[in-house]
């Protein structure tokens, strides 16, 4: 039975008005502090998993989408049923003989259309490109998703529309691709890509969650409650969830493309990732976090790297 705190007028005081008083639920050992931290963590988790509410979404997002989707008109659209819901995919067929297929994966709040500069370039050079809208992005279904669901979508699209030899991914999409390539639980098995190109990919997922916690003014206890929900989904500790660990686990050749002026994912992340033997870094200036996807020197660098394996 819970102890009731009375207000000065004799009426029961609501728990959030009794912050100065420690309320202990009899026999449970649960305090008001831990209860409200869990509530705040659950609320933060829901917002974190809703791309349309993300601070990463640019203010001109809708205009950018309308402009980018024009480039999908030359692609073949296909809706694929997956374990995480219907996923919208697009295929750019090569001009002439097909030499290989690759998977292009956008970042958080993005969509397939944002990867068209790579797809169009490679299609002119004999490579087939498969693009997808991650769950709760673009024309795929749902409003909420998480990194593990995105990794499931990546693996299932690659299986259904493969064989896929290479993967090019942006930002958080890079982590999703590496989770699929690693194949550790909760993935049922790995999808083995021969090589990766990761554009503006973060290293420590804990940095992502801490920045979000700062934006939401989460207390340390609420931040941990939020992170525990992510840990249960990923079946690993936040501290262990790093691009460095994923690259080490896959062991595949990886090119990191990163702008020194990236304000969303610091260049220091890319520098840390180069400590992994299979990774190499090519740095750029002036492209930031998003314009890097449309920069011709960046696209050419990805093509030159993947040409080594064809």
pLDDT 10s digits, 52-74: 998 888 788 888 888 899 999 99
* Percent of the chain residues past pLDDT 70, beyond the cut: 90
Mean pLDDT to the nearest integer, 234-260: 97
Q: Name the packing angle between helices 205-215 and 220-234 (round to 10°).
A: 140
Q: How many CB atoms lie within 10 A of CB 16?
A: 9
Confidence of residue 23 (pLDDT cuts 50, 70, 90): very low
Mean pLDDT (the chain) is 90
Q: Which of 157, 187, 160, 186 is nearest to 169 (CA)?
A: 157
* Domain ranges, ordered by start, for the chain: 60-205+238-307
Paired residues of 80 in beta bridges: 87
Confidence of residue 34 (pLDDT cuts 50, 70, 90): confident
91-129: buried (b, 16+ CB within 10 Å) or exposed (e) per residue? bbebeeeeebbbbbbbbbbbbbbbbbbbbebbbeeebbb
- Whole-model pTM: value is 0.87
Which whole-number Å values give the CA distances from 275 to 60, 129, 179, 268, in the listed order? 36, 30, 19, 12
* Percent of the chain residues past pLDDT 90, beyond the cut: 82
What is the model's pLDDT at position 110? 95
* Residue 18 scores a pLDDT above 50: no
In tens, the pLDDT along 148-171 reads 999 999 999 999 998 999 999 999
What is the model's pLDDT at position 175? 98
According to CATH, the topology of domain 60-205+238-307 is Rossmann fold (3.40.50)
């Amino acid at each position: 039975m819970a102890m009731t705190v009375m207000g000065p007028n004799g009426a029961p005081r609501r728990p959030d008005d009794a912050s100065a008083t420690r309320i202990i639920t009899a026999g449970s050992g649960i305090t008001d502090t831990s209860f409200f931290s869990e509530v705040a963590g659950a609320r933060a988790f829901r917002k974190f998993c809703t791309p349309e509410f993300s601070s990463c979404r640019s203010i001109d997002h809708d205009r950018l989408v309308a402009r980018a989707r024009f480039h999908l008109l030359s692609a073949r659209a296909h809706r694929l049923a997956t374990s995480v819901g219907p996923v919208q995919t697009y295929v750019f067929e090569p001009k002439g003989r097909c030499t290989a297929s690759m998977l292009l994966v956008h970042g958080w709040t993005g969509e397939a259309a944002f990867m068209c500069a790579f797809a169009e370039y490679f299609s002119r050079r004999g490579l087939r490109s498969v693009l997808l809208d991650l769950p709760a992005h673009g024309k795929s279904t749902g409003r909420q998703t998480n990194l593990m669901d995105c990794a499931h979508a990546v693996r299932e699209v690659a299986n259904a529309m493969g064989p896929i030899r290479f993967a090019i991914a942006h930002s958080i999409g890079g982590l999703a691709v590496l989770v699929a390539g690693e194949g550790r639980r909760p993935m049922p098995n790995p999808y083995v890509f021969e090589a990766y190109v990761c554009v503006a990919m973060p290293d420590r997922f804990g940095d992502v969650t801490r920045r979000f916690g700062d934006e939401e003014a989460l207390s340390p206890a609420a931040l941990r409650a939020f992170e525990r929900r992510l840990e249960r989904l990923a079946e690993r500790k936040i501290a262990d969830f790093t691009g460095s660990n994923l690259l080490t686990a896959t062991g595949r050749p990886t090119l990191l493309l990163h702008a020194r002026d990236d304000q969303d994912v610091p260049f220091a992340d890319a520098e840390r990732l180069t400590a992994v033997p299979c990774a190499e870094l090519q740095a750029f200036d002036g492209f930031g976090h998003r314009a890097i996807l449309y920069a011709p020197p960046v696209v050419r660098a990805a093509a030159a790297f993947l040409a080594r394996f064809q």
